[in-house]
Every structure is written in C-alpha cells, then in structure tokens.
Chain A
Amino acid sequence: MFLKKIALAGAVAMLGSTALAGGHAGCPTEGRVSIVGNEFPAIQTVGAGAMGCAGDAVEVSTNLTADHQTINVPGMQGNPAEYTSAIIANSSIVALMNEDVIRPLDDLVAKHGDGIQPNQLITINGQVMAVAFMANAQHLVYRADVLEAVGKDVPTTYEEMLEAAEAIRAAGIMENPVGGAYAAGWNLAQEFNNMFLGMGGSHFKAGSAEPSINTEAGVKALEMMKALSEYMNPDFLTHDSNATNAEYRAGNTALMNMWGSRAATLVTAEGVPQEVIDGFAIAGPMTVGGGDTPATTLWWDGWTIAKNISDADAEATFLAMKKAIDPAIMADEETRTQAVWLIDGYEPTPAATGVFAAAQAGSIPYPMLPFMGLMHTALGNELADFMQGNESAEQALADVEAAYIAAAKEQGFL
C-alpha cells in the first residue's frame, strides 16, 4: 500500500514536471507581465497560470487582493503603468474605461486570438476591451434536509422563501433560517440591486444619468428585504459573504442568496457538520413580486490590458493571460469546480447549476454604466437607516437619490 502511494506520488510528480516542461508553449518569450485582481479561487488559478510563464526574459508578477479595485486605476494611470493587466468584472471595468487606462485588444485578438471563443470577447462600441473567462451570479443555496423536514418545496420566489423560513422557525429547527450578505455598504446595495431589478425596476431614466429608484419597485424591493431580515441573524448589517457563509457552514441558516463563485467551496471547509454537508444544495435564483426576471444580476470576470505600456509588453501580457485561461486547464477537476468557466471544453459541474439557471432564466447583467458605481456607493451608504427601522422606504430612497445626484454632479454626469 505504502509502496503504491510512493509510486503514485512519483508518477504524479513526473506528470507535473512534464506538464511544466510543455507548459511554456504559447507563453511569451520576453516582456513584463504584472497582474492585479481579486482573490477568489478561480482568479487565483488564472494568476497562477500566468505565473507559469515566468522565465529568464519574462517577468511575471501578480497582486491578487480584495482591494484590487482601489489600486487598479492608480496602478494603471502611470506611464509606463505598474500593472500591465487588471482582472475585473463587468462592474469594475467601468472605472478603467472612465479613466481611459485600458487598450482595445482587436489587433492582439486578430494575431493571437485562436482558442478564445467569440462570446468571451467583451466589445464596447465595437472594440474588444476585455476577455472574459468566467460567469457569476447570485442564486439560492439551501438545506435540502431542513426543507424536507418542514415539508416545503425548494422556493422559486422570495415570497415562498419567506413562507419556508416561517415554517422552519415555527418548527423550532432554526431561529434565523435566512442568510444574506446584507453588510452595510457594497453588499447591501447589491442585494437591493437584485431585488429592484427583480421587481422590474431600472436604476436610471432611459438614456440619462438621472436616477429613478424612488419608485414603487424601489419601495417594494426594500419592503421585501426588510421582511427577509426579520428571519436573519440580528447582526445581519455586519454580515458580508464570508460571515454569511460561516453561518451556513455552522448550520445556523437554511436559505440564502449566495454567489456562484463561492458555492463550490461552501462545505469543503474544515469542521463543517455532516448534516450541513449532506443537506447542501443549490438552485437557480428566485423571482420576486410576481415578476419573470430573476432577482439577481449576471456577472463576468475577465482580463484587460493597460494602455500605458509598450506594445511588446502588451503582447507578452496578452499571451501570458491567454495561456492562463487555456482550454488545457479544464483537465483539472478542482479547477473545473471553481467557477462557471466560459472557456472552450468546460463541462458544467453540479456547483454550476445555479449560475446556469440564472443565465437561462433571462437575468439582467449588472449594468455597465459609467455612473453605476456612484449609484452603488450611494445605495450602500443610505439604505442601512431603513433596514434598522429608522426611516421609511420612501425617505431612504429619496436620500439615495439626493446622495447620488450630489456625487454625479461632482463627477460631471449631471
């Protein structure tokens, strides 16, 4: 047995080294590659893939951090830019576009684009500005065993979620069965965005930067969030995705709206009770208020290339990043489960069902508007007062609009 293990380990090591030797094919031969991006597992895989191209004449470095969006713009504004590539999502590409720090990739795609699928190319005004490699969305994560115990079906609407939550509480199984990333700030604003779009709302008046959230849809969205929060841990305004996942892992919540990119690793952490592992299940996003559009947003993550770098470095970065999302990485089981990859050869794993359901149900992509970031910030700052019961929904939404208008005027959008 022991010998077998050693032989196996040796074989694996040899496989690894041959893979590494062959791994430099497709890598740039010289140049500087410097990547900034977020730090969840799928992006770490991409970062490690690009690092694999490091060699004598190729300098590769990565800076993967949750604070990426506060450093990517300053890090790309210099000339030459510190970062040659930023890994971003459809929300954060806007900041890079607004500051004009990323370059169109059409010529590089024409030259080296084989193997990249057409739907991976993010084109803005006819120019390729980013190459997407994964899709993401928030969707339902639940405990099948708990729903079964109270005799409820898997909720497909938020109204059914409330009913199920009441049943779970009434049965005395859990005091706070609903989880949610409702931390004041970015997370709370994102939950509002989901609910607001699900109610059929639209953040801005068509074709302008004028806000239009103080509407019936906005009030109904806030009322639903308030109703859900009654079934949450009383500390919900401090719970981000990490804290919400911890509550789920500890077996304290049974129903939550969670990111697809975190679903796969939810119950693989150490110390998760067996009943949570067995009961873990995911489903598509829910609708709300009788609407057809799911109360969620679609996201993609992709990479961009800096404008203020030499063409040679841009080409090296393109090659290294392309290598990092090469269809060959789909051979690894662990990598496959990390995300819903947009890469050729990806076979969906069970962890991906939620995101696929979100895409098929016609969810709305997170708006790629130059002023959406300001709206998101205003929502995050002003909605906590309503959630604490300090003011009415109309007042909270009026405050959001006023805060947004002040910021948008300052930035020259209004």
Chain B
Amino acid sequence: MENDQDKVLDELTSGEYKYGFVTDIETDVIPKGLSEDVVRLISAKKEEPEWMLEFRLKAFRHWQTMKMPAWAHLKIPEINYQDIIFYAAPMQKPAPGSLSDVDPELLKTFDKLGIPLGEQKRLTGVAVDAVMDSISVKTTFRESLAELGIIFCSFSEAVREHPSLVQKYLASVVPYTDNFFATLNSAVFSDGSFCYIPKGVRCPMELSTYFRINASNTGQFERTLLIADEESYVSYLEGCTAPMRDENQLHAAVVEIITERGAEVKYSTVQNWYPGDKEGKGGIFNFVTKRGICKGDDSKISWTQVETGSAITWKYPSCILRGNNSVGEFYSVAVTNNYQQADTGTKMIHIGRNTKSTIVSKGISAGFGQNSYRGLVKVLGKAEGARNYSQCDSLLLGDKCGAHTFPYIEVDNPSAIVEHEATTSRIGEDQIFYCNQRGISTEDAIGLIVNGYAREVINKLPMEFAVEAQKLLQISLEGSVG
C-alpha cells in the first residue's frame, strides 16, 4: 500500500512542461549588461519623454546602492546582472494597427499557447494584452473598451497617450526605492499593461495580460498599472510561460493597483513560467513585487494566484487598506515540484477603520521542492475594528520536500481581531484507504484530494482560468489524474 502510493506519487509528480517551445522570430536585442547607458538606450528605444527617463535613472542610481535581499527561505544562485540582456523585442512594424500587421509567426505562437489575438466572437469574454519578451505585441478589444471610457493598452502607449495618468500613479504604490527587484524594474522595465477604469464603469469583459519570454539570455521586466476609479469594477487576469532552457532567466515585474472609493479589482494570476528540469537545471527566477492600495472607502482588492511554474518564486501580492471599510483578499495555491523553490505570501496593512482581510494559502510540495508561506498582517493604531483571518495549509507529497510557514502578526489596536491558523500534513493513508474502499484507484484518490485541497482557491478564479488552473495542477503534479 505504502509502496503503491509512493509509486503513484512518483508518476503524478513527473508531468512534462507543455509550453517549452521556442518561436523562431527575428528579435531586436541590445547588448548584454546593465549600465546607465543601457537604461538610456531602453528609454530611447521606447521614445520616452524626459520625465520617464529621469524616473529610470533615479531608480538605477538607487539600485546601485542596494544589495540583494537574503531574508527569504530560498537558495538563490548568484545573479550576474552584466550577463543579462535587458531589452529584446520581436521585430515588427511599429505599432500594428490591425491583426494583419502582426507577424504571423507571433500569432502562431500565441495561438499555440491558447491565447487568440484575433477578436473572435465566441471568445468575447476576454481582452488580451500580449507581451512577448520586452514589448507588447497586440492588445485586443481596445476599441470596444474605449467606447466605455476604459483605457486598456500597453504601458509604452500609455506613457505616450496618457502621460498625466501615468505620471500621477506610477510608483505611487511601489516607490522606486521599495526593494531590490522593484528598483531594478523601475530602472529597466520595458513594457507591460496599463488599465484605467473610469468612474462608475463595470468592465464588461475580463482584461488580461499574457507574458511570454522567448529570446534567450534575456530578462523580462514588465510593469502593470491598474487604476479603478470610483465605483468601478474590473477583473484582471495574468498568465505567463517561457521556453525550456538550461539557463536561468530573470523575471522581475512590478504590479501596482489603485482603487478609489467603492471600486473593486480582482486580480488573478496563473503563473506557469518554465520551472526547470527534473534535476533543477534552468527555469525562471520569478521575483515579483505586486501591491495594491485601497485608497478610497469601501474599496476592495482581491488577489488570486496559482503558482505552478518558475524555478524560484519570490512574490508577495499585498494590500494597503487605507480607505475605511476596505477589503483585501489573498487566495493562493503554490506548487513546488522537483527542485522548485517558492517563498510567497502576502502583506495586509490595515490603516483605515473596519478594514477586513482574508488570506487563504495552500502550499503543495513534491519532489525536492521547498515551499514557504511568508505573510504579514499589520494593524495600525487607527485601524479601529480591523479584522483578519488567515489560513495557510501545506500538503507534503514525498519525504524529500519541505513546507514552511512564516507569518508575522503585528497588532496595535485593541479592537482588532486577527486570527491565523495553519496545518501541515501529508495525504493521510486513511483518506486514500477510504477512496480505495469505494473503488477509486490510489492515483485518482490523490488527484481528488489535491484538487479538493486547492478548490477553495481555484473557485475564486474566473471560469476560463479555473479550467486552466485545474489542468495546470494536473500537469504540475499529476500525470493522468482528473
């Protein structure tokens, strides 16, 4: 029985990465390395205004004084920043107006990834901003969104077309001095998505950004800025994949969300960067800073993430709950298999009165994976009536992996109620036995249990994504289990 279970686990945890292909496309790359000249070059390539360049240079100069953080429960090999290409763009005509202007090779790539760039009627549910390496390739449904006053475009376009909005909000949540990787991103970010939902508008479709790393030796540094004005609502999705390579590629992104009074943003991520091979060779280093601020009263930010890829994940989507009665949520499933490492979690900073936050984190470790939850719940003195509930569970599949929980709770207000609970266990033999008894094979039983375990989080994803996420769990952990 024991052996049987181990064998099944082995099979389940050895699924292959499906998105590891490389697109053969002509790419405009700049020389390796990082210097002030490179920062200027990136800015020049993007034909940016002076203030943008100033911002980058400020960040770069600050970055030079910083050291890589060492507090995470991760073993990060030394990263040589002079050996990375900081800008790589697929060659194409400037600003493709219609789909026919986009390189067919690119279209094929995104088709293969299941991300249609054509605005087909049957898939009207989602508008996509597709980002390949350093630049945005195509943003769909721009026009129909614009009718409602919604701005959804690539970051570079936003800098050109809506400079006042960008200037007002850029780095207002994640300042350029925030942390090592956010500062690096501020200096060299190449593209990303920009989204503005005007007052009282409920965005009729899911907005999404799809990130693809294609060129080798490059790093991807994108920046997303999402602004939800008063009483508006948007659901935002983010997906990502990369080719299989032996080298480690760096991905250091920044996401900023601002919600005004009564606004709600739901941000979902299915992260499926290449995790490296079974020996832990290659894979993406995913060092991401994501933070939202509930600026106005009664606003809400909800983060949902399914983290299955990346060799190393270092990511803490956070909420600053400044408005009274604002709500922050964080739902996460993180899977580490083979030699993957993840140190992920959230920060909930309660500033306003009657602010509420919920944290549900589910870690799954298999193979030699190390999975850590690290979270901070901070209640400031003025946050009368703050409420937090956190639940962080870990599931261990196999005896060589690790699961760790590092919550930090800081409470400075007596009316706050903060609760944290966590459990760590493996799939019980009694659970498997129960299923076996009812004619469910061990393999199916494990699948059922893992899926049931992650259900609470997956349920929070938009429908299209939930299906993908469930499949991903299967690929990451399961061979044929449904």
A and B associate: no
Taking beta carbons and an 8 Å cutoff, which residues of A are in contact with B? none
